[in-house]
Amino acid sequence: MAVDTRTLWVLLLVCVSPWSPAEATKNIHPRLRLSYRELVEMNRTWVFQGSDGALQNPALLLDEYQERLFVGGKNVLYSLSLDRVNAQHKEIHWPSSDDQVEECLMKGREKPECANYIKLVQPHNRTHLLACGTGAFNPVCTYVKAGHWKEFELDDDHAESGRGRCPYDPNSSVTSTVSRGELYVGLYTDYWENDASVCRLGNQSYTRTERDDRQQLNKPKFVGSAVIPDNDDPGDDKVYFFFTERVSDMDGGNRAVHTRVARVCANDLGGQRMQVNKWSSFLKTRLICSVAGPNGIDTHFDELEDVFVLKKKDDKNPEIFGLFSTTSNVFKGYAVCVYSMEDVRSAFNGPFAHRERPEHHWSVYEEKVPFPRPGSCASKINGGQFSSSKDFPDEVLRFVRSHPMMFHAVRPQHNRPVLLETGGGRTLTQLAVDHVEAEDGHYNVLFIGTDNSVVLKVITIYNKEADSMEEVLLEELQVFKMPVPITEILISSKRQQLYVGSEVGVTQLRLHQCDLYGSACADCCLARDPYCAWDGVTCSRYYPAGHYTKSRRSRRQDVRHGNAIQQCNGLQISEEHHGRVQQKMVYGVESNSTLLECSPRSLQARVLWFLLRGGDMEEVTDDDHVVHTAHGLLFLKLRRSDGGLYLCQSVEHGFVQPLARIALEVLEEESVELLFHRGGARGADEDEGEAPPRPPLCSPPALPPGPASTKHWYKDFMQLIGYGNIQRVEQYCERVWCAASDKKRKKLKALPPKWRYSQGSERRGKQRAPRHSPDS
């Protein structure tokens, strides 16, 4: 249905109110969020930067056989190692010639546009790649020697025109794929971008769509393409193109956009007497990605942003993932829909669409359809009557030309998107998918690129009983230092790596980092990452049955439910004794504010606080003097009665984990003042021999047992105070209480800071206002 004003109203409503309650259960927070720095520090990512400005919308080709990643940039081609994209790359400088640049400038173009933007890099034969660039608005192609031994050089003798293979404009959309040595391309073939074409360039043949036929292609934006066999007869292989195009709306305008899947026979040679060198099999239909709204009005995601064809063992039946956005100006939303080949084929095998005039409605074509069925290939499976499309009757060619559109659209699996992004916060640009076998089934792991350098790692789980979709946002990874749009994501399942392109570089990113979730069984199960399982000792890479593993029987994983209670029953070997539960002492000053810090690793966990009194646990709830914050429990105005032992627990999927025990000591206002008064009065040269009576503040309070029970508890106190008196307090307390020898003190100072203080106090220091230098 076209977007009319009624739909816009619904969109607006949907925008303010959440999607219908039956829709996806969804947690907007990723379970883990990792910054660029963190990814680099843990060696999970490596970045290739290229020379300045060389990578604008780079064209990437993954060659797993030669173990290289080929990257086409501005005036340059790179060959990177799949192991480490930033190590020992090779490059070929391939600019436009001076003549070309001059001609380009004379056409009125700007200097930067007159570079050679390499938009197409495809395998050509065993030893060569084909590379095509815009060549200063005069497309050029060449062959690149890229054989074994990391050879990488331009074959200068073989430069040729790139017309029909590469667009003129660097910003123009293009898609290409190679099968059996033939190149299939969707692009605009002319300078003015009037002639959109889907074509094949073989060694002996050239076949394309009709020129200026708006029925076949109407101002398309090309997004993707793939060759998919229909059966075991290669003569029946089909090439699929994914693109958006303009459709006429009710009032005869041409503004609405729909997403299309089109297909041709790979072996189509066109007609003999008519439609020479034109497809005899070009058919297309609409790909629908929509959400059912109230009142039966669907909200459509019509703009295809990216497509990913997920290959399976059965190469005839890949799954097709589309990343879509809305076309509305009012409301921006994104959705991922998945299509099965069965549904795609049945749309192409269904009725043809027919309309008398462009402004009429489409209806089913009811008349007799000629034989062989238009859109079928000249293959053995089809009876072997036609050895080539050149033998097809004129009637068939005429029909296919006048009826390229199928009546039925392709609807997504489960009739709904697997993923929805409607908060308006993020712009999604790219998509890659991995098919992963886990203990409790197969999962598609989606890697989605955004416009601000983030890659989202998501699984989606369909619940049959409830007919609902659950999105689990496993990780949010910032893969470039600067926030830039991600323009390409390629995946190598074999290497368990992602290769991500943007204008600032190409990043390589490991698909998983299981140890990051924590080493306990519960940590691993709660993560719900199909790549990871608890192996009896720690959280590590999961290998499905058949692979060698240490102790298969002790492996625990529950992607579907994240049920750590069931999976890890009896395995919570007193985690407190393993030092996993942080123990610390915190000092607060009466009437002042104090933060008890505690934040779970998982951003999806809920935190509960309890005050332990005798044997009782009393939950701490928000009121006018205490609030739960993302960093911990904040007392706005500390009371004497707030002192005591606090327990911080996380709850995730019903699994409760203690995170920290914090003893809060409330210092009375008067004694603090007293301390400063007395501390300040002491001179540095005072006689060490006569130790004064130990003031109550400096005596070590009863600490809970644990690694945090450091003797340097006063550091906590100093940070709490947060001002220039620190040094005096330190000197004072150290002298009075520690009575440590100078030697001991020096030793202490020589240690790196993280050994000197408990982790808790150090982290708190970061969140407080900057401390003054202690030299007042």
Ligand X SMILES: *[C@@H]1O[C@H](CO)[C@@H](O)[C@H](O)[C@H]1NC(C)=O
Site of interaction with ligand X (CB under 6 A): 42-43, 113, 124-128, 143, 158, 169-171, 181, 202-205, 589, 592, 669, 672, 721-722
Q: Report in angstroms the alpha-carbon separations of 96 from 77, 114, 140, 167.
A: 13, 8, 9, 15
CA distance 486 to 509: 13
Cβ nearer to ligand X, comparing 433 with 589: 589
Query: What b/e readout covers 697-729, taking b as 16+ CB neighbours within 10 angstroms?
Result: bbeeeebeebebbbebbbbbbbbbbeeebbebb
Structure tokens at 684: 């540095």
Q: What angle do CA 124, 128, 129 make, to 5 degrees?
A: 60
Q: What are the structure tokens assigned to 245, written together?
A: 């195009």
Q: How far apart are CA 310 and CA 167, in angstroms?
A: 27
Q: What's the min distance (Å) between Cβ of 209 and ligand X?
A: 18
Give strand ranges (E) for 108-255. Answer: 118-123, 128-133, 140-145, 153-161, 175-179, 182-188, 196-201, 206-208, 221-228, 238-247
- The C-alpha atoms of residue 722 and residue 677 are separated, in whole angstroms, by 17
In angstroms, the CA 592 to CA 636 distance is 7
Give the sheet arrangement for strand 90-93, strand by strand: 59-63, 68-72, 76-81, 90-93
CA–CA gap between residue 557 and residue 544 (Å, rounded): 11
Angle, in degrees to the nearest 10, between helices 726-733 and 669-681: 80
Residues 6+ apart with CB under 8 A from 222: 173, 174, 175, 186, 187, 241, 242, 243
Tell me the pairing of strands 644-652 and 632-635. unpaired
SS3 212: coil
Nearer to ligand X, 202 or 536 (CB): 202
Contacts of 466 (CB under 8 A, 6+ apart): none
- 589 vs 662, which CB is nearer to ligand X? 589
DSSP string of 603-625, one letter each residue: TT-EEEEEEEETTEEEE----SS
In whole angstroms, give the CA distance from residue 376 to residue 675: 92
122: tokens are 């495809």
Q: Are the CB atoms for 248 and 254 separated by under 8 Å?
A: yes
Q: Are 320 and 311 in contact (CB under 8 A)?
A: no
SS (H, E, C) 532-557: EEECCCCEEECCCCCCCCCCHHHCEC
Beta carbon of residue 750, minimum distance to ligand X (angstroms, whole number):
23
Query: In sequence order, what DSSP letters do the residues of 635-657 get, joined into one string?
Result: ESS--GGG-EEEEEEEEETTEEE
Q: Do 535 and 529 form a contact (C-beta atoms < 8 A)? A: no
CB of 41 to ligand X, least distance (A): 6
Q: Please identify, using beta-carbon distances, which residue of 45 and 567 lies nearer to ligand X.
A: 45
Tokens of 536: 């009896």
Spatial contact of 593 and 638, defined as CB atoms under 8 Å apart: yes
CA distance 710 to 713: 6
Q: What is the DSSP letter of 734?
A: I
